[in-house]
Structure 1
Amino acid sequence: MSYLIRKTDTFLRNWKKNPDRYPLIIKGARQVGKTETIRKFAKENYKNLVEINFITEPAYKTIIDEGFSADNILKLISRIDPSKHFDAGETLLFFDEIQDFPEIATSLKFFKENGKYDVICSGSLLGVQYHRIASISVGYKTDYQMYSMDFEEFLWAKGYQEQVISDMLEHMLSGTPFSASEQNTFSNLFLEYCILGGMPAIVSNYIAKGTFEGSLQLQRQLLTDYENDIIKYAEGLDKAKILSVYRSIPAQLAKENKKFQYSRIVKGARSKDYMGCVEWLKDAGLITLCDCLQFPELPLRGNVCENKYKVYISDTGLLVASLDDEAQVDLRANKNLGVYKGALYENFAAEAFIKQGYGLYYYSKENSTLEEDFFIRSSNELIPVEVKSNTNRSKSMAQLIKSDTYPDIRHGIKFTTGNIGISDDIITFPYFCTFLLKRYMEMQKIFK
């Protein structure tokens, strides 16, 4: 299968151009494309790639036996495999699956000081070990978070060029509705992306076959792999509890009130018994948390309710794959999202926001008379963002904008199945524009 272009490609090229570059740690969940992307980068930019996988090649865990200096490590690597070449200035050392050998991070300081070789470390579930890795390599590394493909990368994979994406952004900035043909085309592409998600192997399979054949099996195998990772790496925690939390998320999102509730996992469950499980899943990159604001005002950080949040699956395609078989048939055959419609669109929006670098915040008044899905901010304004599975009016958003009680809020943004429109300081976009929100916010004059 051909290589799928990733935004990480650009980041890596820019990292290589920096003459004072630090060793790089690429974090990300299993199968988001870390290894393939690093190999492609190495092939195009170095004479030698020295790749070591600490899961499949555990013998290399001995390379620190004589200390952490670059020379000692290279000597022991070449003792294990004399065919590996180390040309100064032309060699990339790629340490993969370092969650199985976090001690290697101590060497990053010495590789930086040596300066002759570039180093990239990577691994799945790195967040679980990351506090330890960060503490032993502080000041001598650059961190990069890699996610599964976003909708823009999916459009690239489908053959769409940059001009198409620029035109989409121009529609948003000018408030010009899409034509019926454009709206239909992009809506169908968006639905394909929602069903597939952004895992490269699944997208590649779909592009190669031109159908969804085999995609559900690949997704469910990945879900099984994630659960096996939980069993393997969840040290000191109740693994059964972590699995129960992870498996409860689709049903939790299908509720009208999407606030995460421990009682929905098992009757009588308390937050103190399960909070560590939620944190573990978050650190592993399998879920994202959306914090509830105490009050809809700036600043966002420091204004959240403790232990009140929503939980989303990090890749919407995996959320789709975790639905029951009846829902699968309905979704794939009839494009009917059923009772999960709101949950899937909201999960997709959360995923798109995270991939653009936004934090996740929502608001829900105790009496449920005022609720808002998400909030973002400009330099001086708090902007509610609503994700609606229909084109109904947004009562809560209108109230937030018009009421003097919320002086930081003057505009709202809504994502729906409909077209672009502006009414009563509420700007409406189709779902397929979500990935462009940050670029829109940076260029739209009304938010300056």
Structure 2
Amino acid sequence: MVYYRSAEKYLEQWAASRDRKPLLLRGARQVGKSTLVKKFSSHFEHYFELNLERDRTWVETFDKAADVESFLATLLLRNRISSLEGSTLLFIDEIQVSPRAIWMLRYFYEQRPDLHVIAAGSLLEFSLGDVKSFPVGRVQYYYLHPLTFAEFLAWQGEEGLLAVYQQVPIPEYATEILFEQYNRYLLIGGMPAVVKEFIESGSFGGLPGVYDSIWQSYLQDIEKYAETRKDRDILRFLLQAAPSEGGRITFNRFGGGSFSSREVGTAFRTLELTGVLSLIYPTSQLALPIVADRKKSPKLQLLDTGLLSHALGIQAELISLQDLQTVFNGRLVEHHLTQELAARAVLKDEKPCFWVRQNANASAEVDLVFSHGKYVLPVEIKSGPQGKLRSLHQFIERAPHGMAIRFLRNNYSIEQHVTVGGKPYTLMNLPYFLMGMIEAYAAHLVEVARPD
């Protein structure tokens, strides 16, 4: 079985670029960064992998090296190679362990542009303060996420189904088959080790142990970046309480704990740096740019929906359900669609937003917003009839266009409606599993609605 990641295409383009810079692979632990690079190494004649966490002698080598050439001389000597001829990939894993290795990346770019250099580090942000001069403008970034639904299909060898999934609009005959796969995906999630275990064993039985191992690695990582015992206590409490918190959250006494708003806010921002969870903030924008309002209450987003359902103990319940919007007050599907939207941000650290309007008389909340061209499109996640879209109507009545997207457990369709205030708008209905194709469907919506 070939486990393809969409990031492989980017790596090929990066390797072929004439102005290639060292690449920093970002992303939480266990999302597959090291595996991705090892697979990509087959394109090169020489491959060197240095894991600075496992082999601390490489940290000493970086510390003692006067420059790039002296480091490379040591690298070649330790590998019993006299010279580098042909294409070469150097992979520096867990680079956060060595601030000097981070600092030296700029000199790989300036002095040895012939080398292909990739670095990865799950806890990189915690080392940046120790880097005397971060190589700004001398490195490129790529953010790796858990498997998307499309990658999940590819890993199962569902090439035919994946091809149909990518058709716009999707044919109605494929909807139920894709919903079967989508329910399975929500049950398993997108963590590579979990998906691989399921595919190779053909059973759900071994998955809890893999989930537990991943979760324990996140808890153990706290020891590496928490400065005090109280910091460790707060971080562990938040990580364990987070899965049970649905909807918008407040920091003060979060999860029934005794910690202050300031302590919880600081701890959440620390956990965000690890990639294990994110705070999704609202916006009140109706046009570009979409600016998150960090003064308002955010929603809590875990790294992966499979980890969420495992932590909640609801995986057995998911197997027999038709509409997963009924689970956990609809949070599970909304969580995944937010995760799928977040996975589009691979070149910069960019998080989705939801839309709110709050005043003394009424409030409104739209689940997500998506920008396409000059338009900010409202995105609702519903299973009920169109008439219940009160918040969506408030958005449409104030927006400079009349277009909206709704995800639900149904077939693709286009509907024409009128808001309570009398404004006509075009509503595109999409099955839950099509969030990964939202860019193509947004273009299709604009083409159908002809807003200008």
What is the TM-score normalised by the length of structure 1? 0.88
**Aligned match of 2:312 in 320, 323, 327?**
323
Q: Does 2:70 match 1:69?
A: no
- Residue 183 of structure 1 and its aligned partner are, at CA, apart by 1.9
Query: For residues 256-301 of structure 1, what are the alpha-carbon distances to aligned partners after superposition, in whole Å with 9 as ceiling and x for unaligned?
Result: x4344443323554321211111111111111222112x3422344
Residues 285 and 314 in structure 1, CA contact (< 8 A), matched pair in contact too: yes
The CA distance in 1 between the partners of 2:333 and 2:239, in whole Å, is: 19
Matched pairs, number: 431
SS of equivalent to 1:156:
helix
Structure-2 residue corresponding to 1:24: 23
Relative distance call for 1:131 and 1:430 in structure 2 (3 A) is farther
Relative distance call for 1:127 and 1:307 in structure 2 (3 A) is farther
Relative distance call for 1:131 and 1:192 in structure 2 (3 A) is farther
Residues 323 and 409 in structure 2, CA contact (< 8 A), matched pair in contact too: no
Structure-2 residue corresponding to 1:39: 38
Relative distance call for 1:110 and 1:364 in structure 2 (3 A) is closer
Structure-2 residue corresponding to 1:372: 366
The CA distance in 2 between the partners of 1:52 and 1:8, in whole Å, is: 21
After TM superposition, the structure 1 = structure 2 runs for residues 379-398 of structure 1, keeping only pairs within 5 Å, are 379-390=373-384, 393-398=387-392
- Residue 317 of structure 1 and its aligned partner are, at CA, apart by 0.8
After superposing the two structures, state which structure 1 stretch, 123-132 or 213-222, moved more. Answer: 123-132
**Aligned match of 2:152 in 151, 154, 161?**
154
Matched letter for residue 243 of structure 1: R
The CA distance in 2 between the partners of 1:434 and 1:346, in whole Å, is: 11
The CA distance in 2 between the partners of 1:342 and 1:85, in whole Å, is: 61
SS of equivalent to 1:49:
strand
Residues 188 and 195 in structure 2, CA contact (< 8 A), matched pair in contact too: yes
Relative distance call for 1:322 and 1:101 in structure 2 (3 A) is same
Structure-1 residue corresponding to 2:421: none
Residues 50 and 93 in structure 2, CA contact (< 8 A), matched pair in contact too: yes
**Aligned match of 2:242 in 231, 249, 259?**
249
SS of equivalent to 2:204:
coil
**Aligned match of 2:265 in 265, 275, 296?**
275
Relative distance call for 1:85 and 1:97 in structure 2 (3 A) is farther
SS of equivalent to 2:172:
coil
Q: Does 2:220 match 1:233?
A: no
Residues 337 and 435 in structure 2, CA contact (< 8 A), matched pair in contact too: yes
Structure-1 residue corresponding to 2:10: 11
The CA distance in 2 between the partners of 1:134 and 1:384, in whole Å, is: 44
The CA distance in 2 between the partners of 1:390 and 1:372, in whole Å, is: 15
Relative distance call for 1:396 and 1:428 in structure 2 (3 A) is same
The CA distance in 1 between the partners of 2:128 and 2:329, in whole Å, is: 35
The CA distance in 1 between the partners of 2:127 and 2:290, in whole Å, is: 25
Residues 397 and 412 in structure 1, CA contact (< 8 A), matched pair in contact too: no
Q: Does 2:338 match 1:350?
A: yes
The CA distance in 1 between the partners of 2:257 and 2:32, in whole Å, is: 38
- Residue 6 of structure 1 and its aligned partner are, at CA, apart by 0.5
Matched letter for residue 330 of structure 1: E
- Residue 389 of structure 1 and its aligned partner are, at CA, apart by 4.7
Residues 279 and 301 in structure 2, CA contact (< 8 A), matched pair in contact too: yes
SS of equivalent to 1:121:
strand
Structure-2 residue corresponding to 1:431: 432
Structure-2 residue corresponding to 1:190: 182
Structure-1 residue corresponding to 2:216: 224
Query: For residues 210-259 of structure 1, what are the alpha-carbon distances to aligned partners after superposition, in whole Å with 9 as ceiling and x for unaligned?
Result: 22121122112111111111222233671211122222222212xxx434
Matched letter for residue 237 of structure 2: S
**Aligned match of 1:141 in 139, 142, 147?**
139
The CA distance in 2 between the partners of 1:206 and 1:127, in whole Å, is: 32
The CA distance in 2 between the partners of 1:130 and 1:354, in whole Å, is: 24
Relative distance call for 1:68 and 1:149 in structure 2 (3 A) is farther
After TM superposition, the structure 1 = structure 2 runs for residues 70-219 of structure 1, keeping only pairs within 5 Å, are 70-79=68-77, 81-83=78-80, 86-115=83-112, 116-130=114-128, 135-161=133-159, 164-172=161-169, 178-179=172-173, 182-219=174-211
- Residue 76 of structure 1 and its aligned partner are, at CA, apart by 2.7
SS of equivalent to 1:108:
helix
Aligned-residue CA RMSD (Å): 2.6
The CA distance in 2 between the partners of 1:268 and 1:364, in whole Å, is: 29
- Residue 397 of structure 1 and its aligned partner are, at CA, apart by 4.3
Relative distance call for 1:371 and 1:401 in structure 2 (3 A) is closer
Relative distance call for 1:134 and 1:65 in structure 2 (3 A) is closer
Relative distance call for 1:148 and 1:290 in structure 2 (3 A) is same
Q: Does 2:299 match 1:310?
A: yes
Relative distance call for 1:194 and 1:97 in structure 2 (3 A) is same
SS of equivalent to 1:64:
helix
Matched letter for residue 335 of structure 2: N
The CA distance in 1 between the partners of 2:295 and 2:81, in whole Å, is: 51
After superposing the two structures, state which structure 1 stretch, 382-391 or 209-218, moved more. Answer: 382-391
- Residue 85 of structure 1 and its aligned partner are, at CA, apart by 6.5
Unpaired runs of at least 5, structure 2: 418-425
Residues 54 and 100 in structure 1, CA contact (< 8 A), matched pair in contact too: yes
Residues 52 and 58 in structure 2, CA contact (< 8 A), matched pair in contact too: yes
- Residue 432 of structure 1 and its aligned partner are, at CA, apart by 0.9
Unpaired runs of at least 5, structure 1: none
* Identical aligned residues as a percent: 24
- Residue 169 of structure 1 and its aligned partner are, at CA, apart by 4.2
- Residue 441 of structure 1 and its aligned partner are, at CA, apart by 2.3
SS of equivalent to 1:356:
coil
Residues 50 and 84 in structure 1, CA contact (< 8 A), matched pair in contact too: no
- Residue 151 of structure 1 and its aligned partner are, at CA, apart by 0.6
Relative distance call for 1:390 and 1:78 in structure 2 (3 A) is same
**Aligned match of 1:50 in 48, 52, 55?**
48
